[in-house]
Amino acid sequence: MTSPLPEFSTLYNTCIIPTVGAARTRPMSGSQMDEIISMQSVVKVSKEGLGRSMDREVVILNLQNSTYYGLDPVGAYVWSLMQRPTSVRELRDAMLKKYAVDEQRCERELLDLLQTMHSEGLIEVQRAQFR
């Protein structure tokens, strides 16, 4: 007899940026709750998130809480760009080149997506170093 599959939660897109319908299975640490992502932040995929492409979309397994997430094609594009450390500004600029979207809306929804992904443990965030 096989055990039931882990809960499948989705990041889905109504236009540009997905929202989350996942129940949190691990508490956020204080540093995660205090972390605010800005255009100067640098983000990258966490080692705790294992992502695989499936027909223009991405399925991600969080290795810490055994939760699956789904990204639509727009979210999958963002995920692909975060395979290396990338500034949020670079992500926004790449999305503006690829999609017909207002800059303010793109920025707002991108920041919302990244904040959600960070709170779910799917990405790591670094502050940009100013010289």
Report whether pLDDT(127) > 90: no
Distance, in Å, from the CA atom of 119 to the CA atom of 8, rounded to the nearest integer, reads: 17
Residues in the chain: 131
The predicted structure's pLDDT at residue 4: 40
Q: Which is it for strands 67-71 and 57-62: parallel, antiparallel or unpaired?
A: antiparallel
The predicted structure's pLDDT at residue 38: 93
* Those residues with Cβ within 8 angstroms of residue 26's Cβ, 6 or more apart along the chain or in another chain: 64, 65, 121
Domain ranges across the chain = 11-22+38-124
Report whether pLDDT(97) > 80: yes
Domain covering 11-22+38-124 in this structure, CATH number = 3.90.930.60
Report whether pLDDT(3) > 80: no
The predicted structure's pLDDT at residue 2: 44
Distance, in Å, from the CA atom of 32 to the CA atom of 107, rounded to the nearest integer, reads: 21
> What percent of the chain is predicted at pLDDT more than 90?
37
The predicted structure's pLDDT at residue 90: 97
Distance, in Å, from the CA atom of 37 to the CA atom of 117, rounded to the nearest integer, reads: 11
